[in-house]
Chain A
Amino acid sequence: MSAIVSIDDLGHEDIRAWLKRALEGKELLPKLAPDEYPYLGVLRVDKTSKPAARDSLRRACVQLVREFCEDGGGEVAYVKELLALMAAFQDPEAVELLARLASRFPEVQGIAREVRFAVLAALVDTPPPREMAFWDKVLSQNPEEYAGLALSGVLATNPEHGVAMLRCFPDDERLGEAAAIKLDLAWDDLQPRQRFQFVQDVQAVLPKCGRRFAAPVQAWADSKRAARTAGANASLGAGIAKILGPESHARARSPRLCRPEALPVG
């Protein structure tokens, strides 16, 4: 171990060796707090390094990911740091390597459960998004374990398919709570005109789901329906009013204005 180093003057092999030690927690790194994850310190070193060193650091990260993907081995804490760094660097080659490893999970023995989760989470969080078929295969490997992350992966590219997947999910309340959060994040990303149908689709599939899983998802869907009623989002209304003044107050939708007979005739 050594003091905080500048990597600018190191050759590629030295940078690679430094990176591995840093991710293992064996290098002093610029941390915001002493208990911070090492990869965040590496990102700060990266930010202050010269272009050649930064390029070398990224190549070293891909090399370490490739090394890990050979057999999925390595100390769990180190692998988690490596995957977090990879997600931050967003290197497409590294993403591809991880995707291939995830496809081979059933054949590769001895990969710790939390490493498997970290691999799948990195694939969810790092572009480019994987195809729907990839996540369907992941889900089929182990629906009990991978349902949550498979749902995240599918919602990123195909929310309709994500909704359809819900019926295959284990009847687990905590998974239902996580699904509600993921659906809410997907809802945020939809065009306003798509949102109502999205909630309708979720509600339509819930009768086919287990009761424990469905309850929190139903509560989410109900909250979205309630939000459509006038004045439901009081805090948002108050916030808008505070910024823009009382004239901006949301007005209650009048059903009369929505009915065809209310339209001007002639």
Chain B
Amino acid sequence: MTPSKYHEALNALAADSRQAVEAVFVAWEGDVALARIGRNVAGETALTAADFLSLLTHFDEALAAGGPGQESWKVACYGHQLRGRQIPEDRCPEVLGRVKSLEAHARAVSEASPGLLTPEEAKKQLLKHSGSANVAGFERFLRPAPLGRHIVWATFNDEEPRSDPFGRLPKTRAGIRTALGLGGPIFDDTLVLLVWSHAGSGRPPLHRPTIADAADDNPYFRPCADAHCLWGLTAPLAPNPDGLVPQPEVVMREISSRGLLLPFRVL
């Protein structure tokens, strides 16, 4: 049986380092959230052997410096983000999308306009202009807002890459969250559906997501088992009564809303 990429990288470490790294993942097995990180590491297929080894080496170094396991993992991951395979330009989707909670995007709009709009004012504007192609004076405040923080996780329609990725998804909050594998029973947030043009955003490089992009705070990430897949796939939430299929998933650096396609929708 071919060893996993994780075991290949692990075996390339010195014995002491290997033991230190393995001990943390074993210790995490008793915790639901941390055990998921460990399983994701074991199932990662998108990092190159060199990057995987570098990630584990940095993790070991942070541990050796006395850092707690989870903090050390986070630090190591932050240094290895956006290292998944870059999608070739001719295979990049023209249109991408993501969901955010209304509260989160209102704050992003507010923070992009320091001293001008409060989060509550931005929220009222988002509600007021939802579904409208003409957002009037609000557009000047909408465009500078980042589409995500640090790293943007986005989806697209792999069958019709020029179309709105939400077009083929259910029209309910629960349905969209299920398909994208986000949240759980306690998540009843009002959502904002943001769709943007890849070209209009300056064609930032799109990458297949890896465990390093997920770091310690993306419990929804599941590594794709197919090492040759160009992009990742979401893991629809159980019980998924409508049998929604996994959606394509990519990551990119933080970008503004300059390529945002109107109308955006509040759901």
Contact = CB atoms under 8 A, between A and B. Distances in A.
21 contacts: A1-B70, A2-B31, A3-B31, A26-B71, A33-B98, A33-B99, A35-B150, A35-B151, A35-B152, A40-B103, A87-B120, A117-B115, A120-B115, A124-B118, A124-B120, A175-B116, A178-B113, A181-B117, A181-B141, A185-B125, A235-B132
B117 A148 contact: yes
Interface in B95-147: 98-101, 103-104, 107, 110-111, 113-121, 124-125, 132, 136-138, 140-141
Given A149-B115, A152-B121, A175-B116, A32 B140 contact: no
A87 B220 CA distance: 28
Instruction: Kindly name the residue among B115, B152, B183 whose own CB sees the greatest number of chain A CB atoms within 10 A.
Output: B115
A interface: dominant SS: helix
B10 to A, nearest CB: 23
Contacts of B117: 148, 178, 181
B216 A28 contact: yes
A44 B187 contact: yes
A28 B115 contact: no
Interface string A108-131: 000001100100110011000000
B148 A35 contact: yes
Interface string A50-93: 00000000000000000000000000000010001001000000
B218 interface: yes
Contacts of B183: 32
B115 A182 contact: no
Contacts, number: 124
Contacts of A32: 99-101, 104, 177, 182-183, 187, 189
Given A35-B151, A125-B120, 10 more contacts: A1-B216, A33-B99, A33-B153, A35-B148, A36-B100, A36-B104, A124-B118, A148-B117, A178-B117, A185-B124
Interface residues of B, number: 55
Interface in A1-54: 1-4, 26, 28, 30-37, 40, 44, 47-48
B100 to A, nearest CB: 6
Q: Chain A: interface residue count, which band?
A: 35 or more
A194 B115 CA distance: 28
Across chains A and B, which 7 residue pairs bring their CB atoms closest together, nearest first? A34-B218, A178-B116, A35-B149, A125-B120, A3-B33, A121-B118, A1-B70
A42 B116 CA distance: 26
A214 B116 CA distance: 16
A220 interface: yes
A219 B137 CA distance: 10
B140 A177 contact: yes
Nearest to A43: B103
A225 interface: no
B153 A34 contact: yes
B214 interface: yes
B170 interface: no
Nearest to A29: B217
Nearest to B117: A178
Contact of A4 (B33, B99, B218): B33
Contacts of A40: 101, 103-104, 189
B183 to A, nearest CB: 5
B217 A34 contact: yes
Contacts of A28: 33, 216-217, 219
Contact of B116 (A48, A113, A148, A223): A148
Contact of A174 (B101, B132, B140): B140
B186 interface: yes
Contacts of B125: 181, 185
A146 interface: yes
A96 B151 CA distance: 37
A236 B116 CA distance: 29
Given A28-B217, A152-B121, A37 B137 contact: no
Contacts of A48: 186
B114 A177 contact: no
B70 A181 contact: no
